[in-house]
Amino acid sequence: MWKSVVCVALIGAFGAVSGTSKLQERYSWRQLDFVFPNQQLKQQALASGDYVPTNGLPVGIERWENKLFVSVPRWKDGIPSTLNYIDMNQTPSGSPPLIPYPSWANNVAGDCQNGLSTVYRIKADKCGRLWVLDTGTVGIGNTTQQLCPYALNIFDLKTNTRLRRYELRAEDTNQNTFIANIAIDMGRSCDDTFAYMSDELGYGLIAYSFEKNKSWRFEHSFFFPDPLRGDFNVASLNFQWGEEGIFGMSLSPMQADGFRTMYFSPLASHREFMVSTQVLRDEEGAEESFHKFTYLKERGPNSHTTSRVMSETGLQLFNLIDQNAVGCWHSSLPYSPENHGIVDRDDVELVFPADVKIDFEENVWVISDRMPVFLIAELDYSDVNFRIFTAPLSTLVSGTVCDVAPSLRPGAIQSKFGGSDLTTYPGTTLLPAGYSQPISYTPTSYAPTVAPVTKYTSAPAAYDHPTSHMYTTQEYPTTAKAYHFNKYHNVEYQSHGN
């Protein structure tokens, strides 16, 4: 992604409008820090260039129980860990160092079987699994090196171990492929789960069946960028991302036919598209699916978006990167500009709201990171550059055109093209009820240079384990001698297996 920057003009400083009113800041950083096994190894990493604090940019988030996951791509040297988390019991707010997940050993760039090279978007499901797509790359644009194949990694969040690693087939990608986003479609059991991955620069969509442990690719003209929508203005920077195709995806609640609707759009576009997951789940029909995709209206001017999510009541949230804002649309309403709202906006604190998520307790999480400034100009590291916000979903949409949630209940079904004709569907999905546990925000003592032991506020509820037996049998390091290879001086980072 982002290799298509063609023209850049630095026009001025950040805008003056500030003060998010609904989203509440939870965490913030001038630059990123990490929890090293000890201070000596941290100093070694700093001295060798294995850790360069100003080279890290957080791009993706996901909340599960007491963990708030944060992904940091290896666009530049000096990124010690790409998949990380914050223990919200240990640090309920502030500027905490990031803890590598599930361990230092699993964050080794170029260790294709055990490690993660670069991670962007991540997703937790109701079966207690974390879905992580590793691009296998380091660098960005002309500096990109493909160290490993694209691989989908699935972790058990209760044991912090990897359940499966699936490498995408050669037929799933092409020479231009760049896949950063993932959406998870859960059916009536944990086995009945599909992952959808958007190929932003190769203009495709890859579907993966957990039960079959198999993937296939869709291609469509709707995945291509709109040549009229390649001009961007963010943080007083004008630039062109004209090659950016399909990126943001969200999934509706399950409908009466047992399937969901996927909503998606290219990054260089203001238009929304949709397709039933019945189409995406059908490998045999992939080549005959062209007319089963549908286009909707444009959102309106300055409405580029990279991230979207839909609640269990059919309420979609999405970032508006041109407007330093988070937008909304309720799928019970027609898809038109007058039915789109702004839930929050801030021209300082929300500059490039990179990712938007809704957790299982209907709390919204947003991360802003000033990405274009990081890539094109230069961040001011005496200022706060990265922020994570949160707010209850109901609070965010209150008073907006999207505040129609009382008319929908979980299981409500939206008409295919948006509208008021709704039917209800009795929930029969065999998923764990009430899986998510409340988190405690009681601070405890915390030593920044020591990896804390994982803990929960209460014992996690049992969930429906997948019955397919395609897990890897390879063992992964869980005790000492887990290491991170230092490409400069062959230093080994001993870890505690956390």
CA–CA gap between residue 235 and residue 15 (Å, rounded): 7
Residue 382 exposed, middle or buried by CB count within 10 Å (0-12, 13-18, 19+): exposed
Q: Give which of 169, 156, 159, 246 is closest to 201, Cα–Cα.
A: 246
- Mean predicted confidence (pLDDT) in 273-278: 98
Token readout for 110 is 């170029």
Residue 369: band (very low, low, confident or very high) from pLDDT cuts 50, 70, 90: very high
Q: Where are the domains of the chain?
A: 5-424
Give the Cα separation of 242 and 291 in Å (integer): 26
Q: What is the pLDDT of residue 303?
A: 93
The pLDDT assigned to 180 comes to 94
Max CA separation in the chain (angstroms): 65
Residue 344's Cβ-count burial label (10 Å; 0-12, 13-18, 19+) is: buried
pTM of the model: 0.82
Which helix (H) or strand (E) segment is 41 a member of? helix 39-48
- Which pLDDT score, from 0 to 100, does residue 3 have? 40
What gap in Å lies between CA 245 and CA 137, rounded to an integer?
Answer: 19
Whether the per-residue pLDDT at 432 is higher than 60: the answer is: no
Mean pLDDT of 264-285: 97
pLDDT score of 427 more than 50: no
Contact 497, 479 (CB under 8 A): yes
For the record, the structure tokens of 319 come out as 């970032």
DSSP class of 90:
T
The mean per-residue pLDDT over the stretch 370-392 comes to 97
DSSP H or E stretch at residue 10: strand 5-10
Q: Which two tokens stand for residue 386?
A: 């990265």
Coil/strand/helix, residue 342: strand
CATH fold label, 5-424: Neuraminidase (2.120.10)
What pLDDT sits at residue 235? 85
User: Tokens 């804002």 identify what position?
Assistant: 325
The string of pLDDT tens digits covering residues 306-359 is: 999 999 999 999 999 999 999 999 999 999 999 999 999 999 999 999 999 999
Backbone angles phi, psi at 339, to 5 degrees: -100, 10
Cα 209 from Cα 193, distance rounded (Å):
6
Going by DSSP bridges, is the β-strand pair 99-100/137-138 parallel, antiparallel, or unpaired?
Answer: unpaired
Pick from 56, 88, 84, 31: nearest CA to 359: 88
Q: Counting beta carbons within 10 angstroms of the beta carbon of residue 193, is it exposed (0 to 12), middle (13 to 18) or buried (19 or more)?
A: buried
Render pLDDT for 194-249 as a digit per residue (tens, 0 to 9).
Answer: 999 999 999 999 999 999 999 999 999 999 999 999 999 998 889 899 899 999 99
pLDDT (0 to 100) of residue 406: 54
Strand order in the sheet with 60-64: 60-64, 67-71, 83-87, 99-100
pLDDT tens by residue, 234-247: 988 898 998 999 99
What is the C-alpha separation between 317 and 261, in angstroms, rounded? 15
What is the pLDDT, as a whole number, of residue 330?
A: 98
Residue 291, amino acid: H
Of 450, 494, 446, 445, the residue nearest 38 (C-alpha):
450
Interval 287-308 mean pLDDT: 95
CA neighbor of 486 nearest in space, from 51, 138, 143, 106:
51
